[in-house]
Amino acid sequence: MHKLVEVGGVQIGDGAKVFTVVELGVCHEQKVELAEHFIEVAARSGAQAVKVEAFQADELVVDRSIEHEYGTVTGRKKENYYSLLKRLELSYEEHARLKRKADQEGILFFSTVHNKPSVDFMYDLGVCAFKIASPDVINYPLLRYLAKTGRPIFMDTGGAFIGEIERAVTLLANAGAKDLIIMHNPAGYPAPPEKTDLRMIPMMKTLFNIPVGLSCHTPGFDMVVAAVALGANVVEKPIARSRYLESPEHIFSFLDTEAAEFVTKIRTVETSLGQVRRTTVEEKSLPRFIGRRGLYAAADLAAGEVLSEKNLLPAKPWQGISIEFIDEVVGKRLKKALKKHTPIHWGDLEA
């Protein structure tokens, strides 16, 4: 049994419901009112948490000449990385407003953090957890700082080799982190299906014995459904008002009108997984009664007649003795005469 982690009073791991996260991320178009709308939608959909990105471009980017490339509905786009972050960032005050909105809506709120000031701010704000962005898997000072907070940690792993993930997990544990969830987020904006490698989810669950989830970077819900079927404990996907807007995540977001579908698909798949043994079929249920065969007299049979496969008729519905016991019935004598198509019962046979 893999370890269960508790985030905001909700258990995450095998045996618990898939933890559903609506990513506000960078699809809010730098409009706090739109982000608040997304929080309302997420809460109504039945999702358990919303996540934000707490970054300030001026604190992160030194070389302001580099470009970032990402996919849009109309094709690939290149954009100055600093300018991109600058037009997508929210202030700390705006994040505090979103936290208040999440509290009002009764939905959990946590944040990806990128440096110590954002950790301190979000800690004081009262987030239920932190998230480590995949490039920071090797940012060991940040990992140690997060571990000391005592809050649960989600860790993205896109682009990281398994050895780098293992080292980060070990470092976090040694630094005091007790509740860690690994997030498999295939690299790419968007991530193509052929590079999604969803089989890493059960592999990492086995390797690390902790919950593993999916940060979905692929358009549509196919990868979400497949990940849940493979045992993902968490699913996170961004929300947007349109997939035609230009930012790194709009193309693989679900629309605010699709939030309920996002959650419903996850719940339907986890329900359909059921148990490893079939225990829910009643012995005399209608499908078994109609579909299975019982043993009938193939013709008028006399008392004392010996039963054989020639004078037995396996037919539907299942009445009397089941077809599975034909070997025990063949060679037995009848106690009494039976008319053609009469179901044969154990009490009709001589001992």
Q: What is the mean pLDDT of residues 86-95?
A: 93
Residue 197 has pLDDT above 50, yes or no: yes
Domains of the chain, CATH where assigned: 5-273 (3.20.20.70), 286-348 (3.90.1210.10)
pLDDT band at 1 (very low <50, low <70, confident <90, very high): very low
Mean pLDDT of the chain: 94
- pLDDT at position 2: 64
Residue 247 has pLDDT above 90, yes or no: no
The amino acid at residue 67 is: E
Least confident of 20-29, 164-173, 268-277: 268-277
- pLDDT at position 306: 97
Cα 143 off chain centre by: 25
Least confident of 65-69, 95-99, 121-125, 137-141: 65-69
Q: How far is residue 266's CA from residue 19's CA, in Å, rounded to a whole number?
A: 9
- pLDDT at position 53: 93
Share of the chain above pLDDT 90, in %: 82
Q: What is the mean pLDDT of residues 220-241?
A: 97
- Reference 18, options 31, 7, 26; nearest CA is 7
